A and B are shown apart, each in its own frame.
Chain A
Amino acid sequence: MRRLPLLVPVLWLGLLVAVPLLVVLVLSVSWPAEGVPPFNLPGVAGLNGDSFALVLGDPYYRAAFLKALVVAGATAGLCLLLAFPMALGLVRAAAAWRAPLLLLVLLPFWTGFLPRLGAWIGLLRDEGWINHLLQAWGFIETPLPLLYSWPALFLGMVHAYLPFAVLPLYASLSRLDPVLEEAAADLGAGGFTVFRTITLPLAAPGAAAAFLLVFIPAAGEYVIPELLGPPSAQVVGRVLWQEFFQNRDWPTAAALAVLLLLALLIPIHLFQRLEARS
């Protein structure tokens, strides 16, 4: 009976994490084949290392990894830049305002992910509201190509991931004793110096956590680059999807997934070390 509470998380992790992971691992060393499903298990023919060799050797896939990491890094950086003043504002706000403001930060989580992207498409496309207004006011003759561009991609990414950055920063800034900033001022530090020498260094672990919390899921993002980004935004998530659904090359798709997971183990490990320290 006493082991029962442990059973639930073990079952959960087993069924929803370990088993799928195992399936992906087996897939990545399987042999591609015509038919349903489009692969042969690595049984009599032995393990197939071709998929990993292809993914690691072909510049197309390496570029996809690089693009994903750059997009994730830039998204995390942009989120951090926006989230820092937001979190600072939340912490400094009057107590009565804090809960409603925090709610506003979390509000995007409550609306569906796809409707939000749909809204962006509606705003940004050639016949969308923004182009429509600009034309009506006579600023432009022909519609601007706003959608399917890098700015549109980052707009969507930052919009989706910003709350992940605000929350850890808010948590770390609200733990900061305001007396420390007063003490710094008393010792002769002006407003910006207090921020640079006290607030910023003490919020650094929170900022790092915020960066990683955005970076990790953003690196595997597929939907936003697909729906808002330019055709050149061939990030690894998008390539993986194409391999799986369009090329029906499940082993290559699985190899991409395994390598992405391996690449993300480093930031995940860093994140856990940060959490353990605070």
Chain B
Amino acid sequence: MSRPLLSLRGLSRRFGETVALDRLDLDVPPGEFLALLGGSGSGKSTLLRVIAGFEAPDAGQVLFEGRDLAGVPPHARPLNMMFQSYALFPHLTVAGNVAYGLRREGVARAERHRRVAEALAMVGLEEFGRRLPHRLSGGQRQRVALARVLVKRPRLLLLDEPLGALDAGLRERTGFELRALQRETGAAFIMVTHDQSEALALADRVAVLEQGRLVQLGPPRAVYERPATRFVASFLGGANVLEGRPDGAGGLDCPLLGGTLRPAETLPEGCTACALRPERIALRSGASGPNTASGTIEEVAFRGDDSLLLVRMPGGAVLRVGHAEEDGAPPPRGSTVQLSWEAAAVVPLLG
């Protein structure tokens, strides 16, 4: 990895008894699209506010190209932030909002006009410069907020739930546009989101936060397929997390499942749980041995491209099982099914 644009070193922040950030380390290279993924209270918004300078960390450092930003006020930091509520200035026109940051830099009038027009064109709002924010739709406001930060040509842009306030229909399209703008400008984006599909779809790397700690960091596919902890496994894609005891032969004995999970590689020392993705489980009659089990279908939920089955296992566990449409109609509720999966689908969890 080239020299990181942003480095976080041992960042901690508490609010009274609540730990928002817990000794967090993270490097972001130039031009990367990083998604910070976590539930509410995971510390992801606090992390963004610490980087932007609105919160001071109790311990640790924020380094921008190696320079410690401690004590540097928000207005002097070499980065910008797009707020979840967009925070458009209601008394300024769209063009006035976009020009605000350039005025603060002292950019000359002609140059300012040119860059504002350019930024508005970039987000497709060239006709809206004279409007006031309250006369725009939600999607248009989001674009103004984006233009307002991009016009400053930041090398690092923080985005707090940039798609969160948009309708579902607009979200996918805007997500692609965001990705394209990020590529076009070459800026590093750090996007906070609680929506895993958004994070997986847009980011180069996904950082999963849980209670202020960075629990996993990696490319979307790797994080999805090889979750490191119980939390990541269940948060991303709703994997089945199965607890058990090592059977001494490289497998995990799961009483709740009524069977044995055997991963492709040997089970790491001290591992007491494995993840199993719903879509990796197949219905196969006559299957037996490790990596098979049988149970009773409790619920069937049609989801369009597949169905989700809830299968009650003899040990009491309820397994989420995906059933692809091309495999025909799923068996009805109450039927007993035999399940099997490949060893590669069993992911040992460490924590």
Beta-carbon contact of B89 and A184 below 8 Å: yes
Q: With A and B bound together, what is the CA distance between A188 and B72 in angstroms?
A: 12
Q: With A and B bound together, what is the CA distance between A242 and B188 in angstroms?
A: 76
Q: How large is the interface on A (under 10, 10 to 19, 20 to 34, 35 or more residues)?
A: 10 to 19
Of all chain B residues, which has the CB nearest A182? B54
Q: With A and B bound together, what is the CA distance between A180 and B149 in angstroms?
A: 14
A188 CB → nearest B CB, Å: 3
Beta-carbon contact of B105 and A188 below 8 Å: yes
Kindly identify, within residues 164 to 207 of chain A, every residue whose CB is under 8 Å from any CB belonging to chain B: 177, 179-180, 182-190, 193-194, 197-198, 201-202
Q: Return chain A residues, CB-CB under 8 Å to B41.
A: none
Of all chain A residues, which has the CB nearest B152? A187
* CB 8 Å contact bits of B83-99 with A (1 = contact, 0 = none): 10101011100000000
Q: With A and B bound together, what is the CA distance between A190 and B81 in angstroms?
A: 16
Shortest beta-carbon contacts, A-B, top 7: A188-B104, A187-B101, A183-B87, A185-B74, A179-B87, A185-B75, A186-B81
A contact patch SS: helix
Q: Return chain B residues, CB-CB under 8 Å to A198.
A: 89
25 A-B pairs in the complex with CB atoms less than 8 angstroms apart: A177-B85, A177-B87, A179-B85, A180-B89, A182-B83, A183-B87, A183-B89, A185-B74, A185-B75, A186-B52, A186-B75, A186-B77, A187-B80, A187-B100, A188-B75, A188-B104, A188-B105, A188-B152, A189-B104, A190-B75, A193-B75, A193-B104, A197-B100, A201-B91, A202-B90
Beta-carbon contact of A186 and B80 below 8 Å: yes
* CB 8 Å contact bits of B278-306 with A (1 = contact, 0 = none): 00000000000000000000000000000
- Given known contacts A187-B100, A187-B148, A193-B104, A182 and B87 CB-to-CB distance under 8 angstroms: yes
Q: Return chain A residues, CB-CB under 8 Å to B81.
A: 183, 186
B316 close to chain A: CB less than 8 A: no
Q: B interface vs A, CB < 8 Å?
A: 52, 54, 73-77, 80-81, 83, 85, 87, 89-91, 100-101, 104-105, 148-149, 152
Beta-carbon contact of A180 and B87 below 8 Å: yes
Beta-carbon contact of A184 and B100 below 8 Å: yes
Q: With A and B bound together, what is the CA distance between A262 and B87 in angstroms?
A: 43
B contact patch SS: mixed
Q: With A and B bound together, what is the CA distance between A228 and B101 in angstroms?
A: 51
Give 13 new A-B contacts, CB below 8 A, not counting A180-B89, A184-B100, A187-B101: A183-B83, A183-B87, A185-B54, A185-B74, A185-B75, A186-B81, A187-B75, A188-B101, A188-B105, A189-B104, A190-B73, A193-B75, A202-B91
B325 CB → nearest A CB, Å: 45
Q: Return chain A residues, CB-CB under 8 Å to B52.
A: 186
A205 CB → nearest B CB, Å: 10
Q: A interface vs B, CB < 8 Å?
A: 177, 179-180, 182-190, 193-194, 197-198, 201-202
Of all chain B residues, which has the CB nearest A202? B91
Q: Return chain A residues, CB-CB under 8 Å to B77.
A: 186
Of all chain B residues, which has the CB nearest A181? B87
Q: With A and B bound together, what is the CA distance between A202 and B152 in angstroms?
A: 24
Q: Return chain A residues, CB-CB under 8 Å to B76.
A: 188
Q: Return chain B residues, CB-CB under 8 Å to A177.
A: 85, 87
B86 CB → nearest A CB, Å: 8
Q: With A and B bound together, what is the CA distance between A187 and B100 in angstroms?
A: 7
Interface centre among A182, A183, A190 (most CB of B within 10 A): A183
B141 CB → nearest A CB, Å: 13
Beta-carbon contact of B74 and A186 below 8 Å: yes
Beta-carbon contact of B54 and A189 below 8 Å: no
A263 CB → nearest B CB, Å: 31
Beta-carbon contact of B73 and A185 below 8 Å: yes
Q: Return chain B residues, CB-CB under 8 Å to A179.
A: 83, 85, 87
Q: With A and B bound together, what is the CA distance between A187 and B80 in angstroms?
A: 7
Q: With A and B bound together, what is the CA distance between A202 and B80 in angstroms?
A: 23
B115 CB → nearest A CB, Å: 14
Q: Return chain A residues, CB-CB under 8 Å to B54.
A: 182, 185
